[in-house]
Chain A
Amino acid sequence: MILLQQVISGLATGCLYALVALGLVLIFKTTEVVNFAQGEMAMFCTFVAFSLLVVVGLPYWGAFAGALAVAAVLGILLERLFIRPLHKSSLLSVLIMTIGIMMVINGVAGWIWGFEPSNFPTAVSGEPVRLGQLVITMPDVMNLAVTCVIMAIFYLVFKYSMVGIAMRAAAENRVVCRLMGVKVNKIMATTWAIGSMLGAVAGILIAPVTFLDLSMMSEVIIKAFTAAVLGGFNSLPGAVVGGLLLGVMENLVAGYISTELKGAFAFALIVAVLCIRPTGLLGTVERKKV
């Protein structure tokens, strides 16, 4: 029973990893950028939500929507100003660019909102749900519900909508995609907007647990990378599976071995996965030409 309890709270945490990882994978798949700034972008949007809640006095869901809008704009701006000019640069340049963006966003957030951690309200409160002997807290229920809804939307959009199909096409082959009349640049910007919004959702859900703080995402982003590697960096379902698996495994390690080795565990997992199956659980092999 304790094991099951651990698994369920692991799943609830894993949902958050999955959301951030999904944003990472989405951006990587379509634009071939590993976005190291994803965590700081999410942190920034969470602070925006906090300002909307506390300073402007919007209701929770109003602030949530506002933060998502800001996230979308942020994603589009970053893509347009800093990533698109690099479309012919090496992987290293793009990587360093996202690291630079990460540092600037973090610093600017410090200037705007200060360096003190603050409390962030939860969306729902109340009695935990009881299923027999299992106890699930309301925020955990909320995490699971929000993630399920987002997954469902993602599935439908990618399967049936024009934008989703165009995104998959752009990921497959950009040149042919353009020849087919898809506005690839628009697709790239959309991808960044959606990736940024996914991060913002995760940030808002994480903030009540970790406190709202400049470094709130620094652990989570490493976990999200691990989740993405575990599931396969070019597979959207892989990111979700990886996130959930990582959440559960980590909770089991913390429960049965040591809570302090969580970070080292993530690294060991990355190395193990990359040694045994570099494509991850659901990823596919990419072949390179000379």
Chain B
Amino acid sequence: MHRRGLLTSLLAAAVLLLPPQILPWFTDCSYYFYLIDLMGIFAIGTLGLGLLVGFAGQISIGHAAFMAIGAFFSGFTTLQLGWPFWLALPAAGLAAGVSGFALGFPALRLSGQYLAIATLGFGVAVPQVLVKWESVSGGFNGLKPLAPMLFGYKLSLEEDYYYLVLITLLLMGWLARNVVASRTGRAFIALRDSETAAQAMGINIAHYKTLAFAFSAFYAGIAGSLYAHLVRFIGATDFNLGMSVNYLTALVVGGLVSIPGFIAGAAFITALPHGVNALTRGLPGGMKAMAQNFPQVLTGVVLILVVLYLPQGLMQLWTGLKAGWAAKVRGRRGENSRDTARG
């Protein structure tokens, strides 16, 4: 079983690493790769949010703020201080992580709804402060970070950037899986299930809560840095509450506690507006105005439906189908064996 799992992942890695140009129907692939890159980046952010919300049980509804910190840290250091991207990327993660650690302290005394409100305030305040802090963020004009250089080769094509995103995502996913399976992950889960009980078992609540915030902010910071150098134009107001809600949606759709689910959720929420766009492109003007906020309504509807009917996220549909199919197969096999016995 274990060997099969390894084989599957190796195979998947090989497929993912194939140069995309071998696919003949990808004539104009840069748009699709832009989308895939975005999916990967949001998946990294969602992994972090999943550690915080899904595993440690701490609510954050201002998560885009950490992404903003990572993006502007990376943009500022590469443009103004001349840092190479390869230094700015981990540093942006660390910078966001430190701010997450700092936010974790007031969060220590808060739980549930209070934490939600505090993080909401944080999510609103960070873009406002960044817009005002013109020497770092460029104010309303934003920043235009450059594409990263790798041994003299510029990763400006979306297809090339894909490898960077993919490798980072795999690394971060591996890290997240190890964290979840470790002592820290178990402490997170204990914290989520009952703070009082966790404390009674000797878990240092202050330590693990701040750690969860720092971890998830680190992920968001990395995502922010990758985002900045992919889009190559960042404004502080891009990282608004809408983006934070998108993160939450990715998490909820992905089922809160499943690492593949987080990635699938991020892919879903990234593809949604583009998909709607593609479907409504040919519509007449009046309908187009309606289509403008259709992704938003759809996101809301998905959130409502998932909360009401699919507490384990959209993945539940899949596992449900699989279980149903397995039962059917088992049923048929049962009949067969009875037949053979009779024969």
Contact = CB atoms under 8 A, between A and B. Distances in A.
A17 interface: no
B15 interface: no
Contact of A97 (B124, B293, B296, B307): B307
A93 B255 CA distance: 11
Interface stretch (A181-189, A191-199, A222-230, A249-257): A222-230
A263 B307 CA distance: 31
Contacts, number: 124
A85 B308 contact: yes
A270 B117 contact: yes
A275 B105 CA distance: 9
Interface in B307-336: 307-308, 311
A163 B296 CA distance: 38
29 contacts: A86-B308, A89-B307, A91-B112, A92-B53, A93-B307, A96-B303, A96-B307, A99-B245, A99-B248, A100-B303, A103-B303, A106-B293, A107-B293, A107-B300, A110-B292, A222-B120, A222-B124, A225-B121, A226-B121, A229-B114, A233-B113, A263-B125, A264-B125, A264-B132, A274-B109, A274-B114, A275-B109, A278-B109, A290-B197
A86 B308 CA distance: 7
A73 interface: no
Interface string B287-299: 0011011101101
A101 B299 CA distance: 10
Interface string A236-272: 0000000000000000000000001101101110110
Given A93-B307, A261-B132, A267-B122, A103 B114 contact: no
A225 B120 contact: yes
B175 interface: no
Interface in B172-199: 194, 196-197
A61 interface: no
Interface in B114-139: 114, 116-118, 120-122, 124-125, 128-129, 132
A108 B121 CA distance: 26
A148 interface: no
